Amino acid sequence: MRAELTGAWRGGRITAPPSKSMAHRALICAALAQGESRIENIAHSKDIDATAGALRAFGAQIDFQGNTALVQGTGGRLCTPGGPVWCCESGSTLRFLIPLGALCGAPVRFCGEGRLPQRPQTVYAQLFCEKGVAFSQNDTGVCVNGRLSAGRFCVDGGVSSQFISGLLLALPLLGGASTICVRPPFESRSYVQLTRSALAAFGVQAVWQDENTLFVEEKQKYTNCNYTVEGDASQAAFFGVLGAVRGGVQLAGLRPGSAQGDMAFLPLLRQAGAAIVQAPCGALRFEQAGLCGGEASLADCPDLGPILMVLGLFCENGLVLRHAQRLRLKESDRIAAMEEEIRKMGGRIESDGGTVRVFKSALHGAALCAHNDHRVAMAMAVAALAAGVPASIDGAECVEKSWPEFWQVLQTCLGAEVTLL
């Protein structure tokens, strides 16, 4: 599918969609609980549907009724899946559920599409070897065979916090207490806090012993509950950047005090000179202002990388993004993909290892490619609208991974002229 944008739009009010990060965690916790849990404000996407389908393979019953999910949990007694567990292209689904597969005491195979089967799982491979659990990975997926035992787990904190979250979800079900020791640098700590928050909502505790050590008490039980998923800061950031550059955007649906690391987009925009004021009903209004730019670290908010690269194109002094190296291991190599697409529009951008430098640029219309990456597609759409130039984006259907309604939201909420072909 190709999205054709004229560059014209009128502005309007956007409500942030439900947080995909929190929805993954809530579904898994509910699936591990005894009894029925009700999860409100959950949105369908390829990633969320992948997690729900995988949890059904482990024995949970999940029924979607509009934006509500009714989950009949397993009480922690997981079934061994009868076939490969399909994870689509969701890294969260795969990395969160691999440790659960290692609780079954039998072979469990995980498979997916796109770049997912090739995404590195070395952290689990090493940990499982230490625990006597067989682990293998090839071009078609991952297989685990054995039963994970409690104890001490040492994890490199600079790779991905998803490994830490995956362990946190499984360890409470083991027969002994466990400790996770995170070797610094500990990046994306905020995502681990999101996992701890979800665990607590379902009656499970993971306690910090010090800034890099988590303790999980033995034989805890997940308890069913009613849970409401908060708005997604990483998706809201696309419209926050558009509003910061051009004004005319109101943003609603974000929870004040949220632990989402991607909430950093608000202070980062203010630091760059954005004018953000409080609007009625808890919304934020973005007014056009001169943007100066500066520096930002992506250590705790890597998903903001593509849209912050777009922001830099409109800042007087450009923008330097540091600790961006993990962007190369996402649905695409996001640094290379954004460099290629921004240059097509006449933008100036360069990278060196984990540092990306973006310079203020006069953009022109171009034919673009989404690189099968939802965040690249959405970021380049914002670039075209912010510059007021036409653009076509091939592979526009990739937004179904996280926000299937994205193009419709542009049309109906902002009055953007978008045609899907």
Distance CA 38, CA 27 (A): 10
Annotated catalytic residue 303 = yes
| Count of CB atoms situated within 10 Å of the CB of 106 | 11
Q: Are 265 and 304 contacting, i.e. CB atoms less than 8 angstroms apart?
A: yes
231: left (phi over 0), alpha (psi -120 to 50) or beta: beta
Q: Can you spell out the DSSP letters for 271-282?
A: HTT-EEEE-GGG
Sole residue written with tokens 């070797």 = 183
Q: Are 407 and 382 contacting, i.e. CB atoms less than 8 angstroms apart?
A: no
| Count of CB atoms situated within 10 Å of the CB of 421 | 9
Distance CA 62, CA 24 (A): 13
- Listed in sequence order, the residues at least 6 apart from 200 whose beta carbon sits closer than 8 Å to its beta carbon are none
Sole residue written with tokens 């591990």 = 32
Whole-angstrom Cα Rg for the chain: 21
Distance CA 306, CA 51 (A): 25
Out of 210, 303, 352, 373, the active site residue is: 303
Distance CA 196, CA 343 (A): 41
Distance CA 22, CA 42 (A): 9
Q: In what order do the strands lie in the sheet with 348-352?
A: 294-297, 319-322, 355-359, 348-352
Closest CA to 390 of 399, 398, 380, 378: 380
What 3-state class would DSSP assign to 84? coil
Half-sphere exposure of 208 (CA within 13 A, CB side): 10
CA 169 to chain centre: 17
- DSSP H/E element including 286: strand 284-287
Interior CA angle at 295 toward 258 and 22, to 5°? 20
Distance CA 365, CA 389 (A): 5
Pairing of strands 206-210, 213-216: antiparallel
Report the catalytic residues: 303
